Amino acid sequence: MNNDGDVVRDWRTLTLVVLTLTVLIFIANIHLEVRGEVSDVDIFSRFTHSALISFIFVNSALFLITLALSHKHAKLIEQALGTLLAAVVAALLFGLLVESGITVTGVATDVWSQFALGAIRMMTADFAILLALGTSFGILLTLVTGRETPSDPLLELETTSFEKEEE
């Protein structure tokens, strides 16, 4: 049985594995980009747009879920108003960013077109992540539950009649 120290070590190892794989993918992409023949992708704009749109989406979703699950003890002022304001501020910041010329290629440079493109990109990536999670852990679950284990020997024991023993 693991103690607390082991649990921390195990999760640290798992985090390290994920980070290593992410770095590997980055290296592979950079290596292939260095080979040339890549159309212009402004990764900084993509990162900024994606971060802001994700921030807006997660805050809006949390705002709506807070409203849907509200009850008399809920901290509506802090949670609902806080998430709504955060989403509005991020939306204004996104508008400012686009107006100042930090845009992504492939669509018109007005704020709504840029937001719509980024939002659909984000939803597509979310969908891909969900599929990857479902596929991986679905397969892992079927494999893990497929192992044959001997039945518990206690189940094979018969109940004993104490009256007969006493006789």
The residue among 115, 62, 120, 113 whose CA lies nearest residue 86 is 62
Q: Which of residues 49-108 bind other proteins (CB under 8 A)?
A: 49-55, 58-62, 64-69, 75, 77-79, 82-83, 86, 107
Nearest distance from C-beta of residue 48 to other proteins, angstroms: 7
Strands (DSSP E) contained in the chain are: none
Cβ-defined contacts of 103-106 (< 8 Å, 24+): 103/45, 104/42, 104/45, 104/46, 104/49, 105/40, 105/41, 105/42
The residue among 57, 53, 83 whose CA lies nearest residue 70 is 83
Would you say 83 and 62 are in contact if contact means Cβ atoms under 8 Å apart? yes
Nearest CB to other proteins, comparing residues 38 and 88? 38
Nearest distance from C-beta of residue 8 to other proteins, angstroms: 12
Between CA 54 and CA 123 the distance in angstroms is 9
The site for other proteins, by CB under 8 A, has a size of: 83
Please choose, out of 95-103, 145-153, 154-162, the segment that lies near other proteins by the rule CB under 8 A: 145-153
Q: Which of residues 117-136 bind other proteins (CB under 8 A)?
A: 117, 119-129, 131-136
Which x/- pattern, by CB under 8 A, does the window 9-48 give for other proteins? -x--xx--xx--xx-xxx-xx--xx---xxx-x-xxxxxx
**Binder of other proteins out of 3, 100, 142, 159 (CB under 8 A):** 142
